[in-house]
C-alpha cells in the first residue's frame, strides 16, 4: 500500500463535496460546508447575493448576504462565506453557507446543493482532505473529535493542547535529534578516521537518550490522559450501612441513591458519572456485597460483584466507627493489588477501626453524612489515578494508535542503544533509528498508509 504522506500523493481531490456541518436540531443557525474545485460554482447555482454579484467574483475570506433559492422558491436567507484554496479548512475552495438552524430547512438546502453538482461528504471527509492537502497533521486532526465531544474541562484542555500542536511539536523535537543522529552516523561511517565535531559514539548516545526520555515521558502520561479523557469505571463497595450511598451523594452532590437505615435496600447498580478532582468517575452504587437470602437482592449483589471485577478504580467504604469484621477483612483481602481507595466513613463518630488492617491501602477519611471530606476524596482520587500530576495543557498522546506508534519508536530507540553499547556497527544503530523515525512519521501522519488514514477519518462525524 503506497503511503499517502508528503511523498505519496497529497493533492486536491476531484469531487466537490457538501454536508451539514452543524448538529441537526433546532438552533439559531446551521451551516452547510461545500469543498472542492467546483465549490464556488455549485454555491453560485443556489445562492443569490442581494448585491447581485456572484460568489465567484469574491476574494477569499469574503462574505455575502443573500438567499438560497430553488428556481424562484426561496428556501432561506443567510450568509455565504467564501474561502479560496489553499487558505481554507480543507485547503480547497470552500463555501460555508449559514442559514437558520432548522432541521428540515438545512436538509432541503443540502439536497438542492447536491442536485447542483456536489456529492455528499463521507464522515470526516473535510478533515481528511485537510490532512491530505497538508493543512493539518494526524494528531491535530484526531484532536478535533476530542474538542467536539469533550465531557470534562480536562478532556477539553487535552484536546486543545493537541490541536494547538503540542504533540506534533514534541514529536518534531525527537525527530530532529534522530535526523541529526542519522547524519552523524553517516559522517562517522564515511570518515571513520577523522575527528568531526559532534560525530562520535558519545554524541550518538546523547541523541538517543533525549529521544528515549522524551518518549518515556509521553508513554507514562498516556494512561493518566486516558483516564482524564474517558473517565474511569469505578465501583463503590462495602458492607450494607457503611455509607456507600451517602458517599456517592457526597460525590455527586445530589440525592440520587436511596439512602436508608435498613441494610440491603440499595438493590441495584445505579449508574451515574461524577467529576471528582477533574476525573470523570463512571460510578456504580452497588448493593452491599454480602451473603443474602433475598432473591431480588441477590441479583443486585451478583451485579455488584461483576461491576467490582471490571472496575478500574474501587472505592471501598468502611464504617470507621465500628471495628472491622470478617466481611470487611474479606473485602480488603479481595482488593489487595487493585487500584483501590479505602474510604473511612463516619469519622464524625469515635474511631473504632484498627489501622493496622489497612496497611498498604490508600485511605481517606470522610463524614459523608455531614458533607465532609469531599476535597480530600478528590485529591486522593487524583493521586491514585496519577491524574493530579498531569498538565492537561501539555503533549499527552490522545489514543491507542498514537500510543502504539510512540511505543514502537521507544522500543527501536532502546534497540539502538543496545546496539551502540554492544559495539555493533554504526549501520546497525542507524537501522534502529530509521525504524524509530518511521514509527514517529506514522504517529503524526508524515508517512502513513491509505488504510490507516481511512480508518482514522471514518470515525469522524459527517460534516467535519
Ligand atoms: P449503604 O448501605 O452503605 O449505602 O449506607 P447508606 O449510605 O444508606 O448509610 C447508612 C446509614 O449510615 C444512614 O443512616 C446514613 O445516614 C448513615 N451515614 C452515612 N454516612 C455517615 C457518616 O459519615 N456519619 C454518620 N454518623 N452516619 C452516616
Residue nearest (by alpha carbon) to ligand 1 atom 15: 243
The pLDDT of residue 196: 62
Nearest ligand 1 atom to alpha carbon 372: 23
Q: What are the pLDDT digits (tens) for 189-241? A: 776 666 666 667 778 899 999 999 999 999 999 999 998 888 888 988 888 89
Query: Distance between CA atoms of 188 and 190, rounded to whole angstroms?
Result: 6
Q: Measuring CA to CA, how many Å separate 245 from each of 251, 303, 319, 326? A: 10, 16, 13, 22
CA of 246 to the centre of ligand 1 (A): 6
Q: What is the DSSP pairing of strand 94-102 with strand 270-276?
A: unpaired
Nearest ligand 1 atom to alpha carbon 263: 2
**Domains of the chain: residue spans and CATH:** 10-137 (3.30.1360.120), 147-221+395-444 (1.20.120.430), 228-384 (3.40.50.300)
Q: What are the pLDDT digits (tens) for 116-159? A: 999 999 999 999 999 999 999 999 999 998 898 887 788 889 99
Q: What is the pTM of this model?
A: 0.76
Return the higher-pLDDT residue of 292 and 97: 97
Residue among 329, 446, 457, 452 at smallest CA distance from 8: 446
Residue nearest (by alpha carbon) to ligand 1 atom 17: 243
Does residue 441 surpass a pLDDT of 50?
Answer: yes
The pLDDT of residue 454: 82
Q: What is the DSSP pairing of strand 17-20 with strand 119-120?
A: parallel
335: Cα within 13 Å, side-chain hemisphere: 30
Query: Distance between CA atoms of 258 and 45, rounded to whole angstroms?
Result: 61
Q: Which of 237, 239, 243 to mutate to test the pocket of ligand 1 (most atoms within 8 A of CB)?
A: 243
What DSSP assignment string belongs to 81-133?
EEE-TTSSSSSS-EEEEEEEEEHHHHHHHHHHHHHTT-EEPPTTHHHHHHHHT
Return the higher-pLDDT residue of 238 and 304: 238
CA of 245 to the centre of ligand 1 (A): 7
The pLDDT of residue 460: 78
Residue nearest (by alpha carbon) to ligand 1 atom 12: 243
Amino acid at each position: 500500500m503506497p503511503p499517502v504522506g508528503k511523498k505519496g500523493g497529497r493533492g486536491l481531490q476531484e469531487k466537490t463535496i457538501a454536508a451539514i456541518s452543524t448538529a441537526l436540531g433546532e438552533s439559531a443557525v446551521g451551516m452547510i460546508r461545500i469543498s472542492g474545485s467546483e465549490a464556488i460554482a455549485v454555491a453560485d447555482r443556489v445562492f443569490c447575493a442581494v448585491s447581485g454579484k456572484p460568489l465567484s467574483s469574491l476574494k477569499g475570506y469574503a462574505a455575502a448576504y443573500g438567499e438560497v433559492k430553488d428556481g424562484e422558491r426561496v428556501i432561506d436567507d443567510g450568509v455565504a462565506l467564501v474561502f479560496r484554496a489553499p487558505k481554507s479548512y480543507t485547503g480547497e475552495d470552500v463555501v460555508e453557507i449559514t442559514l437558520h438552524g432548522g432541521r428540515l430547512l438545512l436538509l432541503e438546502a443540502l439536497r438542492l446543493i447536491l442536485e447542483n453538482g456536489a456529492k455528499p461528504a463521507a464522515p470526516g471527509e473535510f478533515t481528511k482532505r485537510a490532512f491530505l492537502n497538508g493543512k493539518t497533521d494526524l494528531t491535530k486532526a484526531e484532536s478535533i473529535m476530542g474538542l467536539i465531544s469533550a465531557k470534562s474541562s480536562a478532556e477539553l484542555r487535552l484536546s486543545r493542547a493537541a490541536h494547538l500542536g503540542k504533540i506534533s511539536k514534541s514529536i518534531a523535537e525527537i525527530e530532529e535529534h534522530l535526523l541529526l543522529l542519522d547524519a552523524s552516523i553517516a559522517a562517522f561511517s564515511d570518515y571513520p578516521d577523522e575527528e568531526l565535531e559532534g560525530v562520535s559514539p558519545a554524541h550518538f548516545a546523547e541523541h538517543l537518550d533525549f529521544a528515549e526520555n522524551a518518549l518515556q515521558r509521553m508513554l507514562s502520561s498516556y494512561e493518566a490522559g486516558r483516564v482524564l479523557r474517558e473517565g474511569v469505571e469505578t465501583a463503590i463497595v462495602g458492607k450494607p450501612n457503611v455509607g456507600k450511598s451517602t458517599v456517592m451523594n457526597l460525590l455527586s452532590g445530589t440525592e440520587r441513591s436511596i439512602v436508608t437505615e435498613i441494610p440491603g435496600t440499595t438493590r441495584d447498580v445505579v449508574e451515574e458519572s461524577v467529576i471528582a478532582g477533574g476525573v470523570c468517575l463512571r460510578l456504580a452504587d452497588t448493593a452491599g456485597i454480602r451473603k443474602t437470602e433475598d432473591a431480588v437482592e441477590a441479583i443486585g449483589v451478583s451485579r455488584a460483584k461483576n461491576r467490582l471485577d471490571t472496575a478500574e478504580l474501587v472505592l471501598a467504604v468502611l464504617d470507621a466507627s465500628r471495628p472491622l469484621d470478617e466481611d470487611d477483612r474479606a473485602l480488603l483481602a479481595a482488593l489487595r493489588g487493585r487500584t483501590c481507595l479505602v474510604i473511612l466513613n463516619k469519622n464524625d463518630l469515635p474511631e473504632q477501626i484498627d489501622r493496622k488492617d489497612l496497611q498498604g491501602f490508600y485511605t481517606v477519611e470522610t463524614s459523608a453524612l455531614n458533607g465532609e471530606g469531599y476535597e480530600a476524596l478528590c485529591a486522593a482520587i487524583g493521586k491514585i489515578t496519577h491524574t493530579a500530576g498531569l498538565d492537561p495543557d501539555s503533549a499527552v498522546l490522545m489514543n491507542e494508535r498514537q500510543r502504539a506508534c510512540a511505543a514502537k519508536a521507544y522500543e527501536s530507540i532502546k534497540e539502538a542503544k543496545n546496539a551502540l553499547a554492544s559495539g555493533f556497527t554504526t549501520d546497525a544503530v542507524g537501522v534502529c533509528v530509521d525504524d524509530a523515525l518511521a514509527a514517529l512519521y506514522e504517529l503524526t501522519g508524515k508517512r502513513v498508509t491509505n488504510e490507516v488514514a481511512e480508518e482514522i477519518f471514518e470515525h469522524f462525524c459527517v460534516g467535519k
